[in-house]
């Protein structure tokens, strides 16, 4: 684009949504220079802040005509460099499309604008006795549009599924400005291709989500919390199956922390040991059994049964809110590991439950042999097959980048996923072929071409343009 | 195509999968001439019975080169003329791709070939203490591939969702013979576009599903069954919400039968009246509370509470298996209506719960005024927004076709769906625009072009070719 064309585009964008909402240069807040991936910040060419679906359509139509690449920004909490600007991109932020349009108590649905923070979705549902089933650590700043675009998972997927399961419909704007409105509110609706399903998890590469129609659930009873010691994945899987049998529909959280994770947690020195002996896996379990003694007794009885059956080695129940917070503190200790560990390499993978033990043993052995002195830790949303891994190099080594080959090779070998819930973005693009066949990748590129023929939307995310 | 090219194609098809599995003329069993839609049977040009994914690929590649239209057939239980042949089409049946490839108990997943009947999926899951969550009346003959291709719903969707929610991955063959294998077994897997999601519910127009990866659940406790009398949709919605609050994750069936449905059922003369006074809606409810007195007491207590709260007017609990069968007989009485009613027009629609009362009142009034003497009945999977309607004309009238305009206009007006679970096929194609915008329809046609550029797969289903 020549300078004149570029300035023409800026003038047209300003005319479309107003001078106050097209920012350039030093007027662009630094937070829009990066997402949460910890890459070098890049100032976008401009920041657009449209205030309606019509304005999103207007600015995209202009960028489409100009062949101007656009990076889409929600709450900027992504960890795969999806919303991180590249040189020359214009950033389109959904932050002004913020708020709840409708809560329909009879249909148990909510229609929200894409820029609404997740915690607002939770709070507004709670006010009418309902519940939105996706919850994640970034709830305070991530937005529902970003959650849908990345098919966010989180800590209650064992009960409520990932974001996909909680979305009934969408409104989205295609790269040429076409507005697609499919704000379905019904559980059953088989009327041609369910295009919103393709948009969910497409990381902003197929269109800009502007509104979402969400399915809400009845508010669950209060949660009971426990830590359990188990000897490996087979026992953990058995515990998962038995708990869902004993309390159908009540198990809401089932997280695993492997031995080395608890070793590093112990080194932090802030949390007492939960068990006399450190088990292979420490499970954090929550079940919606109601507060008070009755709920606690139900969980205690179930865990006693599982101990008698030899599946659980030891268990401890939260007796108070303080206990519950302390139990969660083990699971969230990883946020503190950087204080005592060298810079590590972090992963967000899935592995089928039946090969999880073998895959972890393989990666443990490979990091030990190829990266002597390194520390390999595993933890995460075990019931969803979703593990977070980190590999910390020996203090004398430069970095942990070599662990990428070990982990992604193992993911390929065990037919796992290189991205469970964070997405591909620009960060994991080189490894996508470990989880997808050439035929699948070719189809994905055809779909990108169909939706975004000029490749202006989140270019180079998921796969390289051209 | 000239005669020579046509005979060349047949010879090539025979060479690809063997003479025994390419049938023509009188060798084609009559069951392959139609599905369950009750249209005039059409003998397909040939019947192909491939025995593997590779053979499906081989025959599609040949048909693609020849521009030969192909109709895909599973269990032939569809009600929207999706698998009904058109003149000149070759039928491709998946019946030989039949069987379970893997049940993974730890991962709670099953990989099955597309032609496996639904009841086999249920039985094989049960054998290992697991449960497949989609159940429908056609379970004995419908196939899992057809269920996935049409996103089948059924009677347990309030608990387990529609087929989409129970599918983790697919293998499918594109029209040119390309094999796409994405047999994911993990709940969380965000690695680019989830193309199986687009294939689910696309009614065979985008590809031929050959294998499916299903998510299984722990086997639920035995069901308790009740009939409830309620005064309207608002109370029914309140009952639904309260039961899910009282028994989270235990409510498996929530069906509604409106007054006129019970009037016609009474005329059959085979079933005693469940209530002293006929209510606006009779609900059939099942909850997985375990068998025996304890489960029955739990349901009785919940229904007492709802009667005290004024939501339920009357209720009756099944005390035995015979009672349960009798309660279901009300819900299945519609299969007998044709014995005493004239030929009617049947519908499978969805309506958001908050407008269901108003929409039904509107359609009742419109059929009464525009089709004097007609009978309008409504029943179905109420918790899923899914109603089945039938309009029977007055005995002196010729037919009930005029009701299509009334029902589909109301669906459009109340933002419902013209097809909740049966799909569009050829039958409802003229009405698709009542539930989809022009922009959505244009996108769907682009997607069809991307997947099936020669439009050989289930041509004219969902929308007309070209």
Q: What is the pLDDT of residues B349-371, one digit of tens each?
A: 999 999 999 999 999 999 999 99
pLDDT at B401: 82
Q: How far is CA A391 from CA A70, A281, A295, in A?
A: 34, 18, 39
How close, in Å, is residue A202 to chain B by CA atoms?
6
Tens digit of pLDDT for each residue in A60-89? 999 999 999 999 999 999 999 999 999 999
Nearest to A437 among B181, B234, B441 (CB): B181
Find where tokens 């609900």 sit: B283
Quote the number of domains for chain B. 4
Check A188 against B248: CB less than 8 A apart.
no
A37: its two tokens: 């991936």
B82: its two tokens: 């999706």
Indicate whether B108 and B208 sit together in one domain: yes
Contact B69, B16 (CB under 8 A): no
Indicate whether B106 and B211 sit together in one domain: yes
Indicate whether A345 and A405 sit together in one domain: yes
List the single best residue of A188, A216, A221 to mutate versus B (max B Cβ within 10 A).
A188
* A447, part of any domain: no
* B431, part of any domain: no
Question: What is the rounded average pLDDT for all residues in chain A?
Answer: 96
Check B386 against A187: CB less than 8 A apart.
yes
- Distance between CA atoms of B168 and B182, rounded to whole angstroms? 9
Report the residue of chain B nearest A434, measured CA to CA: B191
Indicate whether B236 and B317 sit together in one domain: yes
Find where tokens 């066949």 sit: A437
- What value does the mean pLDDT take over residues A366-389? 96
Check A352 against B233: CB less than 8 A apart.
no
Residues pairing with B213 in the sheet: B111, B169
How close, in Å, is residue B267 to chain A by CA atoms?
31
Report the residue of chain A nearest B445, measured CA to CA: A193
For helices A403-413 and A353-370, the axis angle rounded to 10 degrees is: 150
- Distance between CA atoms of B81 and B283, rounded to whole angstroms? 31
Show residues of chain A in contact with B111, CB under 8 Å. Answer: none
Check A446 against B447: CB less than 8 A apart.
no
- Distance between CA atoms of B338 and B346, rounded to whole angstroms? 12
Nearest to A153 among B185, B188, B197 (CB): B188
Nearest to B191 among A105, A197, A418 (CB): A418
Sign of torsion, CA B211 B212 B216 B219? negative
Query: Complex ipTM, two decimals?
Result: 0.96
Domain boundary among B284, B301, B335: B335
What CATH number corresponds to the domain at position A256? 3.30.70.2190
Check B353 against A106: CB less than 8 A apart.
yes
Show residues of chain B in contact with A442, CB under 8 Å. Answer: 178
A124: its two tokens: 């507004």
> φ, ψ for residue B434 (rounded to 5)?
-70, -25
Show residues of chain A in contact with B219, CB under 8 Å. Answer: 245
A266: its two tokens: 């112990």
Nearest to B165 among A165, A180, A194 (CB): A165
Tens digit of pLDDT for each residue in A268-301? 999 999 999 999 999 999 999 998 899 999 999 9
Query: How many other CB atoms are found less than 10 A from the CB of residue A445?
Result: 17
pLDDT band at A335 (very low <50, low <70, confident <90, very high): very high
Tens digit of pLDDT for each residue in A187-246? 999 999 999 999 999 999 999 999 999 999 999 999 999 999 999 999 999 999 999 989
> Residue A12 is part of which domain span?
3-96
How close, in Å, is residue A270 to chain B by CA atoms?
32
For helices B233-246 and B353-370, the axis angle rounded to 10 degrees is: 150
Contact B110, B140 (CB under 8 A): no
* A459, part of any domain: no
pLDDT band at A2 (very low <50, low <70, confident <90, very high): low
Check A218 against B417: CB less than 8 A apart.
no
Nearest to A420 among B153, B188, B249 (CB): B188
pLDDT band at A397 (very low <50, low <70, confident <90, very high): confident
Indicate whether B240 and B294 sit together in one domain: yes
- Distance between CA atoms of A329 and A315, rounded to whole angstroms? 17
* A311, part of any domain: yes
pLDDT at A466: 64
pLDDT at B2: 54
* A80, part of any domain: yes
Indicate whether B91 and B116 sit together in one domain: no
Contact B365, B292 (CB under 8 A): no
* A456, part of any domain: no
pLDDT at A7: 85
pLDDT at B466: 64
Contact A216, A108 (CB under 8 A): yes
Indicate whether B111 and B38 sit together in one domain: no
Nearest to A190 among B109, B150, B237 (CB): B150
DSSP result, B268-282? H-SS--SSSS--SEE
pLDDT at B4: 65
Domain boundary among B96, B113, B134: B96
- What value does the mean pLDDT take over residues A435-458? 97
Q: How far is CA A223 from CA A288, A291, A294, B144, B369, in A?
A: 4, 7, 12, 37, 54
Indicate whether A200 and A122 sit together in one domain: yes
Q: Which residues of chain B have pLDDT under 70?
A: 1-5, 466
pLDDT above 60 (res A3): no
Find where tokens 């030891």 sit: A314
Show residues of chain B in contact with A193, CB under 8 Å. Answer: 198, 201-202, 206, 443-444, 447, 462
* A254, part of any domain: yes
* A299, part of any domain: yes
Show residues of chain A in contact with B195, CB under 8 Å. Answer: 198, 440, 443-444, 447
Domain boundary among B176, B199, B218: B218
Check A197 against B200: CB less than 8 A apart.
yes
Indicate whether B36 and B109 sit together in one domain: no
Tens digit of pLDDT for each residue in B219-246? 999 999 999 999 999 999 999 999 998 9
List the single best residue of B128, B164, B187, B230 to mutate versus A (max A Cβ within 10 A).
B187
Indicate whether B274 and B311 sit together in one domain: yes
What CATH number corresponds to the domain at position B204? 3.30.465.10
What CATH number corresponds to the domain at position B406? 3.30.70.2740
- What value does the mean pLDDT take over residues A437-454? 97
- What value does the mean pLDDT take over residues A315-328? 96
Indicate whether B104 and B214 sit together in one domain: yes
Indicate whether A128 and A194 sit together in one domain: yes
Check A187 against B161: CB less than 8 A apart.
yes
Show residues of chain B in contact with A353, CB under 8 Å. Answer: 104, 106-108
pLDDT at A51: 98
pLDDT at A291: 87
Nearest to A384 among B188, B353, B436 (CB): B188
- Distance between CA atoms of B368 and B9, rounded to whole angstroms? 55
- Distance between CA atoms of A108 and A99, rounded to whole angstroms? 17
What CATH number corresponds to the domain at position A91? 3.30.43.10
């Amino acid at each position: 684009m020549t300078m004149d064309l570029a300035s023409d585009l800026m003038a047209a964008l300003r005319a479309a949504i107003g001078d106050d909402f097209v920012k350039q240069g030093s007027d662009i807040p630094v937070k829009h220079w990066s997402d949460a991936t910890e890459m070098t910040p890049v100032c976008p060419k401009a920041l657009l802040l449209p205030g309606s679906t019509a304005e999103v359509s207007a600015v995209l139509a202009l960028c489409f005509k100009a062949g101007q690449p656009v990076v889409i920004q929600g709450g900027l909490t992504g960890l795969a460099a999806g919303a991180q600007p590249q040189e020359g991109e214009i950033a389109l932020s959904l932050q002004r499309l913020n708020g709840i349009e409708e809560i329909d108590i009879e249909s148990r649905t909510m229609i929200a604008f894409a820029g609404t923070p997740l915690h607002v979705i939770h709070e507004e549902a709670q006010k009418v006795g309902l519940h939105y089933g996706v919850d994640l650590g970034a709830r305070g700043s991530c937005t529902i549009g970003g959650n849908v675009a990345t098919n966010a998972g989180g800590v209650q997927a064992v009960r409520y599924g990932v974001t996909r399961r909680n979305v009934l419909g969408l409104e989205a704007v295609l790269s040429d400005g076409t507005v697609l409105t499919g704000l379905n509110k019904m559980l059953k609706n088989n009327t041609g291709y369910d295009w919103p399903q393709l948009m969910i998890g497409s990381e902003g590469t197929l269109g800009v989500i502007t509104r979402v129609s969400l399915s809400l659930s009845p508010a669950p009873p209060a949660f009971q919390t426990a830590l359990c010691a188990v000897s490996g994945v087979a026992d953990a899987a058995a515990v998962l199956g038995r708990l869902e049998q004993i309390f159908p529909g009540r198990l809401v959280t089932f997280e695993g922390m492997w031995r080395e994770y608890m070793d590093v947690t112990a080194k932090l020195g802030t949390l007492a040991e939960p068990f006399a002996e450190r088990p292979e896996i420490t499970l954090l379990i929550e079940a919606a059994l109601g507060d008070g003694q009755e709920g606690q007794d139900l969980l205690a009885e179930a865990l006693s049964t599982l101990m008698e059956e030899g599946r659980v080695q030891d268990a401890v129940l939260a007796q108070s809110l303080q206990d519950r917070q302390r139990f969660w503190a083990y699971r969230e200790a990883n946020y503190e590991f950087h204080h005592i560990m060298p810079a590590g390499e972090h992963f967000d993978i899935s592995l089928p439950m039946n090969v999880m033990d073998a895959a972890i043993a393989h990666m443990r052995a490979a990091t030990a042999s190829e990266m002597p002195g390194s520390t390999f830790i595993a933890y995460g949303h075990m019931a969803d097959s979703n593990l977070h891994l980190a590999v910390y190099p020996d203090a004398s080594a430069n970095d942990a980048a070599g662990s990428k080959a070990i982990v992604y090779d193992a993911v390929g070998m065990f037919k796992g996923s290189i991205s469970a819930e964070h997405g591909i973005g620009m960060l994991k693009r080189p490894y996508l072929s470990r989880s997808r066949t050439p035929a699948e990748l070719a189809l994905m590129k055809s779909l990108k071409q169909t939706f975004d023929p000029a490749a202006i939307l989140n270019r180079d995310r998921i796969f390289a343009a051209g």
